[in-house]
Amino acid sequence: MSDLRSTGRTPVSVIGTGLMGSALARTFLTAGHPTTVWNRTPGRTGALVAEGARDAAGASEAITASGLVIVCVRDYDAVHDVLDPARTALTGRVLVNLTSGSSEQARAMARWATESHATYLDGAIMQTPPHVGARETAILYSGEESAFTVHRDALMELGGASTYLGTDAGIASLYDVALLGIMWGTLNSFMHAVALVGSANVDATTFLPFATAFHAATGSFMAKYAHDIDVGEFVAEDASLETHLPPVEHLLEESRALGIDAAIPSFTRALLHEAMTAGHAKDSYARIVDHFRPAR
């Protein structure tokens, strides 16, 4: 079937049918939305059409087909390559851009969309394609609130844990990379830790329950430190920066003695030294945020 039947669900168009775009389109189809798809490189929509999607002949046709237009392509250059020629079709449409990029690219896109008389919402999908459509999947949105409010039901089909963050279109991108950064920082340290205990023939799975328990405890420290940062008071309830220094040096020396890259503890020691030199030896670890504040 390739006709658009009336299902009472918002018609949607998905531009870009790579792995992620296809997962989005398939989720809409499964939920009963009349779904139109288009991909710049031809021949990539066959499977979706077989599942009930309508294949548009071009970007303008895809945009015209639905009030809600999703674009999910490789990068922002690709967004412009597909949308610029179809700009006039965007008038009155809600454009939801799920392409990965920087906060500045998202803000520039929001301006471009507004000038095109479209309502713009930017989004960051915090999961891989197989998880699109799951109740626990989060897509973070920012931009024009009305776009989220009007199309809330359709957008929540894509990820049940999705959230609207605010009117600044760049915020979703910022959250995206900031959250991923916490993940990489944690995983890199975990790999370092596994190598350390591995030197004493301890398996990663033997070490895992200890790592998991300590990881969970670290999550609770984040709440205290977030409070410290917001109020600008860095009371060390448990361990002050000067208390952290000796064990950081133990980790550094232990790593070096074992021939394990000490770049991570070396960086941590430099952060402690910097903050202590600035007179914050008695402060909580939250004081480290100063190092990451933008240079002005």
- Indicate whether 277 belongs to the interface with a second copy (CB under 8 A): no
Name, in order, each residue with C-beta under 8 angstroms of 28's C-beta and a sequence gap of 6 or more: 12, 14, 35, 154, 157, 158
Phi, psi angle pair for 70, to nearest 5°:
-105, 130
Least distance (Å) between residue 91 CB and a second copy: 29
Choose one: 28-36, 64-72, 110-118, 259-267; the region binding a second copy (CB under 8 A).
Answer: 259-267
CB nearer to a second copy: give 208 or 278.
208
Q: Which of residues 11-30 bind a second copy (CB under 8 A)?
A: none
Biggest CA pair distance of the chain: 71
CB nearer to a second copy: give 150 or 194.
194
Question: Binder to a second copy among 61, 81, 145, 254 (CB under 8 A)?
Answer: 254
Question: Binder to a second copy among 1, 258, 273, 278 (CB under 8 A)?
Answer: 258
CB nearer to a second copy: give 13 or 22.
22
Question: Binder to a second copy among 6, 57, 178, 279 (CB under 8 A)?
Answer: 178
Query: Taking CB under 8 A as the rule, which mask of x and - marks residues 77-116 in contact with a second copy?
Result: -----------------------xxxxx------------
- Indicate whether 292 belongs to the interface with a second copy (CB under 8 A): yes
Choose one: 47-55, 81-89, 148-156, 250-258; the region binding a second copy (CB under 8 A).
Answer: 250-258
CB nearer to a second copy: give 19 or 47.
19
- Indicate whether 235 belongs to the interface with a second copy (CB under 8 A): no
Least distance (Å) between residue 16 CB and a second copy: 15
- Indicate whether 232 belongs to the interface with a second copy (CB under 8 A): no
Least distance (Å) between residue 40 CB and a second copy: 19
CA dihedral 270, 272, 274, 276 (to 10 degrees): -150
Q: Which of residues 118-177 bind a second copy (CB under 8 A)?
A: 126, 128, 130-131, 138, 140, 163, 166, 168, 170-171, 173-177
Question: Binder to a second copy among 4, 49, 108, 204 (CB under 8 A)?
Answer: 204
